[in-house]
Structure 1
Amino acid sequence: MGRRFAGGLAGAVAALVVTSAVLPTTAAAAPAKAGRLDGWINHSLIVMKAKGIPGSYDGIHRTLMRESSGDPEAINLWDSNARAGIPSKGLMQVIDPTFSQYHVDGTSWDIYDPIANIVAACNYAAHRYGSIDNVFSAY
């Protein structure tokens, strides 16, 4: 399955120019259907509640729509993180070191797994900003 570039067409073009050696060809994945997003968010909220991680449906939804347009396969290959070799990935656009540090036990170690990605991002946001609900721009 291909990875979808975050940042729209301009980001995809820049990513292909800058990182053609990393991903020689990619096929854009379709954004998730609303029902799938609802399921992923609600499942994540159950995990977060069990682990004491604050956050709301609205905060998660707002962030993942801004970051990936709801595409769990999104990857950003054009920003400063990508230029440093650590592109943002998944629904919440998390970089590998952040995912590793804020991974929540009981979730997958696959950064593209929607639940693992959401929960790790919310765990990070809780430590840095108090909650994903306090994040209104890139984080």
Structure 2
Amino acid sequence: MRSTTTGTARLTKTHKLSAIGVTVAMSAAAVALAVTPGQADTPSIAAKPVAWTTTDLGAHDHIAQQSEKTAQQAKTATKAKTDAAAAKAKADAAAAKKKADAAAKAKSDKARADQQAASRSQARTPVKPAAPAKPAPAAPVKKAYADNLDGWIKESLDILKSKNIPATYDGIKRNVMRESTGNPRAINDWDINAANGVPSKGLLQIIDPTFKAYHVEGTSWDPYDPVANITASCNYAADKYGSMDNVNSAY
């Protein structure tokens, strides 16, 4: 707070420097007047000190303060404007990014929806049901035959029939009984064939060369085998006599 008494106001550094400058200037002027040539005899005039009032000093201080305040306000306004511009730029960038992200998501969602729609509408090849597995053919049931003359004749007749070789049960049995009396191991060791080293063998007394020549596929190669002996003998009789039924003696 300033005193209103003349000459006792508290000065700032700036005011003090200004006052000193004025005092020095006044003193120099007084000296100059005192020593001016041609006026040596003129009595010197003492300079009257300038009186400074607290009112003048206060006005000067107020101007300085106003200037400083204005500068500070300008600085604050500039900073506020810069901050506002930065905030707006940041907000604009965030809004642009959000918009771009939304557009990208919408595009991706549409592409995915289009792909799914295309997949659903795509023609599908009907699946052909697998054909039911065919059951494995049943193994043929082998017919059972009795292991005796009746069974041997019946099995031979089935084989002969499958080969289209004519013969009958009665024709076969009649010749078997005449040739071997039903003995599958019978052998003739006294006739001409025996003398030639090829005795007649088996149920229908067939020699080895004839048995081999008229052997029927699917039967044994043993001439003493009852079924093989009957089928080979019937095959030979059919070739030579038309059928075993036509044989009534040695053949």
What TM-score do the two structures reach when normalised by structure 2?
A: 0.42
Take 2:147 and 2:181, find their aligned partners in 1: how far apart are those partners? Answer: 14
SS at match of 2:148: helix
Identity of aligned residues (%): 67
How far is the alpha carbon of 1:43 from its aligned partner?
0.3
* RMSD (Å) for aligned C-alpha atoms: 1.2
**2:108 paired residue number:** none
Aligned residue among 37, 40, 61 for 2:149:
37
Structure having greater relative contact order (Cα 8 Å, sep ≥ 6): 1
How far is the alpha carbon of 1:38 from its aligned partner?
0.4
Q: How many residues align?
A: 106
Matched, 1:110 2:222: yes
Provide structure 2 residue ranges, at least 5 long, that are not aligned to the other structure: 1-145
Matched, 1:77 2:189: yes
SS at match of 1:92: coil
- Higher-Rg member (1/2): 2
Matched, 1:90 2:218: no
What TM-score do the two structures reach when normalised by structure 1?
A: 0.75
**2:211 paired residue number:** 99
1:29-60 deviation digits (Å, cap 9, x = unpaired): xxxxx971100000000000001110000000
**2:175 paired residue number:** 63
**2:243 paired residue number:** 131
SS at match of 1:47: helix
**1:49 paired residue number:** 161
1:45-98 deviation digits (Å, cap 9, x = unpaired): 000000111000000000110000000000000000000000000000000000
Take 1:96 and 1:82, find their aligned partners in 2: how far apart are those partners? Answer: 11
Provide structure 1 residue ranges, at least 5 long, that are not aligned to the other structure: 1-33
**2:81 paired residue number:** none
What does 1:21-36 align with in structure 2 at a 5 Å threshold?
A: 36=148
Take 2:206 and 2:236, find their aligned partners in 1: how far apart are those partners? Answer: 9
Q: Which amino acid letter does the alignment assign opposite residue 40 of structure 1?
A: W
Matched, 1:119 2:231: yes
Take 2:196 and 2:225, find their aligned partners in 1: how far apart are those partners? Answer: 23
Take 2:181 and 2:154, find their aligned partners in 1: how far apart are those partners? Answer: 17
Take 2:223 and 2:211, find their aligned partners in 1: how far apart are those partners? Answer: 7
